[in-house]
C-alpha cells in the first residue's frame, strides 16, 4: 500500500513538472528550425536575431580533436555541430556562409576536372570565382556532468513498475552544456568576438519530445534527442549574444599599431 502511494505521488509530481516545460518547448522560441535560401528564411525560431544586411562572409570550422567533440560524437552519438550553426547563421542574414568543410573537396574536384579538359565547353569553372571568407567561426562545448542523472537517476529503481517511465524522465546525459562561439578575422588573425550560450535540462523538461517534423529537417539527433535539442538551443543562445555584440563592434586600438610591439615593451 505504501509503495503504491509513493508511486502515485511520484507520477503526480512528474506530471506537474513536465507541463510548463513542454509548453515552453511547443512555443518553438529556442530551437533552430525551418529553412534558409539566400537572404530568405522560413520557419525561423522566434527569438533568433536577424540583420537587415550581412556583415561579411563567414566559414564555420570545428576543432574535431578536442575532448568535447569526442564526447559529442562517441558518448552522445551526435553528428557535427556545423550544419546546425550554418543554418542559424544563414537564417539570421547576419553573415553569408561559405564552404570550407568536406564539400570543399568536391569543389576542388570540379576544378581539377575542368583543368584536365574533361568538362564540356562553357562549364565555367575557371579561376577567380570562389568567394573569400572574411571571418571564421569556431564552435566548442563545455559539458558539466555533475548530478547529470537528476530525477531520472533517482527514479531508476522504479523503472520496471512504472512501465519504463524512469528511462523517459531521465532527461539529458549532462547537467549543463555551455557553448562558445569564437569569431576570427581571417585577414589579420585577430579574434574580434566571442560569445557563450547555455542550456540546462530544465530548459527542455523531463521528456516527451516530439520528432520535430517542422524542426531541423535532416539534422538527425539535433531534432529528435533531448541532448541534441539542448545543444542546438545553447548554440542559438551563443549566436544571438555574438550578433548583439557585433552590432556594437568597435576595433581594439593599440598604441603604435597592432603587432608592432605593443605597450609592454622590453627595455634596452
Q: In degrees rounded to 5, what are phi and psi of residue 58?
A: -145, 145
pLDDT at 78: 93
Q: What is the DSSP letter of 69?
A: H
71: Cα within 13 Å, side-chain hemisphere: 14
Q: For the chain, give the number of residues.
A: 268
More confident residue, 6 or 23: 6
Helical axes 226-247 vs 82-92, angle rounded to 10°: 40
pLDDT at 61: 95
94 neighbors 54 (Cβ within 8 angstroms) = yes
Nine cell digits for residue 50: 536577424
Q: Grid cell 552590432 — which residue?
A: 247
pLDDT at 56: 96
Tens digits of residue pLDDT in 181-216? 999 999 999 999 999 998 765 454 322 222 333 333
Give all strands (DSSP E) within the chain, no chain letters.
35-37, 40-42, 57-60, 96-97, 135-144, 176-185, 191-200
More confident residue, 62 or 6: 62
More confident residue, 97 or 163: 97
pLDDT at 136: 97
pLDDT at 45: 66
- Mean pLDDT, residues 247-257 taken together: 88
Confidence of residue 14 (pLDDT cuts 50, 70, 90): very low
Tens digits of residue pLDDT in 42-94? 556 678 899 999 999 999 999 999 999 999 999 999 999 999 999 899 989 99
| Residue closest to 246 by CA, chosen among 193, 182, 186 | 193
Tens digits of residue pLDDT in 98-157? 998 777 788 888 888 888 888 888 888 878 888 999 999 999 999 886 554 443 333 333
- Secondary structure element (H or E) that encloses residue 222, with its range: helix 221-224
Residue 165 has pLDDT above 50, yes or no: no
Residue 226 has pLDDT above 50, yes or no: yes
Amino acid at each position: 500500500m505504501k509503495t503504491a502511494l509513493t508511486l502515485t505521488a511520484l507520477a503526480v509530481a512528474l506530471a506537474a513538472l513536465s507541463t510548463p516545460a513542454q509548453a515552453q518547448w511547443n512555443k518553438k522560441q529556442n530551437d533552430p528550425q525551418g529553412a534558409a535560401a539566400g537572404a530568405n528564411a522560413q520557419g525561423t525560431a522566434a527569438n533568433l536575431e536577424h540583420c537587415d544586411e550581412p556583415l561579411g562572409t563567414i566559414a564555420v570550422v570545428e576543432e574535431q580533436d578536442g575532448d568535447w567533440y569526442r564526447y559529442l560524437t562517441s558518448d552522445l552519438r551526435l553528428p557535427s555541430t556545423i550544419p546546425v550553426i550554418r543554418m542559424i547563421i544563414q537564417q539570421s542574414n547576419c553573415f553569408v556562409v561559405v564552404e570550407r568543410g568536406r564539400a570543399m573537396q568536391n569543389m576542388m574536384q570540379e576544378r581539377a576536372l575542368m583543368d584536365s579538359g574533361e568538362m564540356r565547353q562553357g562549364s565555367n569553372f575557371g579561376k577567380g570565382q570562389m568567394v573569400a571568407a572574411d571571418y571564421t567561426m569556431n564552435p566548442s562545448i563545455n559539458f558539466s556532468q555533475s548530478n547529470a542523472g537528476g530525477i531520472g537517476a533517482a527514479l531508476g529503481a522504479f523503472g520496471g513498475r512504472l512501465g519504463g517511465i524512469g528511462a523517459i524522465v531521465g532527461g539529458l546525459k549532462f547537467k549543463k552544456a555551455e557553448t562558445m562561439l569564437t569569431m576570427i578575422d581571417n585577414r589579420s588573425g585577430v579574434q574580434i568576438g566571442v560569445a557563450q550560450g547555455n542550456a540546462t535540462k530544465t530548459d527542455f523538461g523531463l521528456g516527451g519530445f516530439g520528432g520535430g517534423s517542422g524542426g531541423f529537417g535532416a539534422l538527425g539527433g539535433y531534432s529528435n534527442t533531448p541532448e541534441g535539442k539542448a545543444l542546438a538551443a545553447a548554440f542559438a543562445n551563443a549566436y544571438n549574444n555574438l550578433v548583439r555584440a557585433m552590432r556594437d563592434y568597435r576595433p581594439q586600438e593599440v598604441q603604435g599599431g597592432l603587432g608592432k610591439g605593443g605597450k609592454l615593451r622590453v627595455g634596452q
